[in-house]
Structure 1
Amino acid sequence: MNKLLNFFLCITLSLGFASLVSAQTEQKIKAELQGKLGSNTKIKSVTVSPIAGIYEVQVGNDVFYTDVNSKYLLQGEIIEVATGKNITEQRQNDLNRIKWADLPSANAIKIVHGNGSRQLAIFADPNCGYCKRLEKSLQQLDNVTIYTYLIPILSADSVQKSKQIWCASDPSKTYVDWMINGTPITGKNDCNTVAIDKNLSLAKTLGITGTPTIFFVDGSRFPGAAQLTDIEKKFSSLK
């Protein structure tokens, strides 16, 4: 009995030591690589990858790879040959995932099609051409609730338009009319527009650097003007 206990104790200690060594190696690589890349590139973490001797490097929400000596920085995808699984893409999706409950719907323009049973959120700039293209596609979606968070990041005019839309008597209609038909926005911007400031801060926190950016209820994101077929495919996967 004592021999068995000693065996499990040795195994536990060995695993603990291995974990400690691994953590120290990761910290060493991170420090060395950070020094080489400079302060303008902030490394969030360095962890082991599925390939021996190769480590995953997280910079913002992007994934790179390096060797144990931090001599090389690799940009590309790791694909598991046996299954065809894109490990890098899966990891990237996990890093970009958010908590749907963290999105403050009170700061969004709410548009409902049909019974509104499906949900998605969009961060958009009113002067964004891709956002306008996406909005036209979304008109074909049925049974969906769309939460649009205005983030005026393109110009001073974007700020003006965002505030006018938010302050309109019917923000959702004003937004759609502008984005779809180019109907001039004539309202004032004299209401409380703190929601737009909060949206900008939230976008920064979520690492949103361009519009449109779409989020689904599982927290996954689609950057750019996604195709309607891809949106429908994603909705189907959520059932």
Structure 2
Amino acid sequence: MRQLFLCVVAVLCQSVFADVQSLKQRISLQYPKLALTDLMTTPIDHLYSARLDGQVVYLDESGEYLFTGAILRLKDQKNITQELLQNKASNLWATLPLQDAIPIVKGTGQHKIAVFSDPNCPYCQQLERELSRLNDVTIYIFMYPLRPQSEKLTKQVWCSPNSSYAWQKLMQQGINPVASLNCQNPIERNLALGQRLGFNGTPSIVFANGESNIGFLSADQIQSFWRQHGL
């Protein structure tokens, strides 16, 4: 009986995987510019969820129709969309390529935060002053040059002997880095990552529980978030 049960489960899993894969292939062929990620099944038959520009969207099994908005389960008023957002958020931090960020550690470094930042963004510069007020924190800076004039600066920072020092000098004192551009850097990957996450502005902040915020936050707001969520 146990072997029969395992066989049934295996067949069902293969069927679900095949359905998701076939839908993914169909969409990529018919709509190659539609940048969907995290395509998966939902509790509703023949309905799939995906992520598009940082938002949860839904597709039918034909791949011809795309829906946005909240889905509620009437029997218990459960917000299916909110649950999907929370599940995706919980996985976000674990999938961040931290090797492509500049780590800045203060004190014990126990609190963790990731910041997508553009050196020519005034609010990013303001955020840097607020980040300097935080204690016992590890800040991962993903340089994210949405402005064309920022690309050279970010590459020079990365190529500097001490990138965290070069970044803080640039953002807090306006001292430009002098390093050459002759090193491999993650800037293109960071741009692709931010766009995939729907970060269409800077600064964009990701907390260790996967929740994110586009826009400026003060040090007090960040610390309040940590206390509220036990981070």
Answer whether TM exceeds 0.5 for this pair. Answer: yes
TM-score by length of 2: 0.69
Letter in 1 for 2:42: S
Q: Is the 8 A contact 2:155 2:187 kept in 1?
A: no
- The structure with the larger Rg is 1
1:204 paired residue number: 192
Identity %: 20
Counterpart selection for 2:83 from 56, 79, 87: 87
Confirm whether residue 232 of structure 1 aligns to residue 223 of structure 2: yes
Counterpart selection for 2:166 from 154, 163, 171: 171
1:153 paired residue number: 146
1:40 paired residue number: 33
Counterpart selection for 1:142 from 121, 135, 141: 135
DSSP 3-state at the match of 2:186 = helix
Counterpart selection for 1:125 from 118, 122, 132: 118
Letter in 2 for 1:174: K
1:122 to partner: Cα distance: 1.9
1:152 to partner: Cα distance: 2.9
1:26 paired residue number: 20
Q: Is the 8 A contact 2:123 2:216 kept in 1?
A: no
Distance (whole Å) between structure 1 residues aligned to residue 34 and residue 28 of structure 2? 7
TM-score by length of 1: 0.67
- CA 1:103–1:84 in 2, change beyond 3 Å: closer, same or farther? same
Over aligned residue pairs, what C-alpha RMSD do you find?
3.8
Letter in 2 for 1:231: I
1:214 paired residue number: 205
Confirm whether residue 189 of structure 1 aligns to residue 178 of structure 2: yes
* Paired residue total: 220
1:77-130 superposed Cα distances (whole Å, 9 cap, x missing partner):
335544557223214314533346x4138x626363x66542323231111133
Structure ranking higher on relative contact order (CA contacts 8 Å, 6+ apart): 2
Unmatched segments (≥5 aa) in structure 2: none
1:55 paired residue number: 48
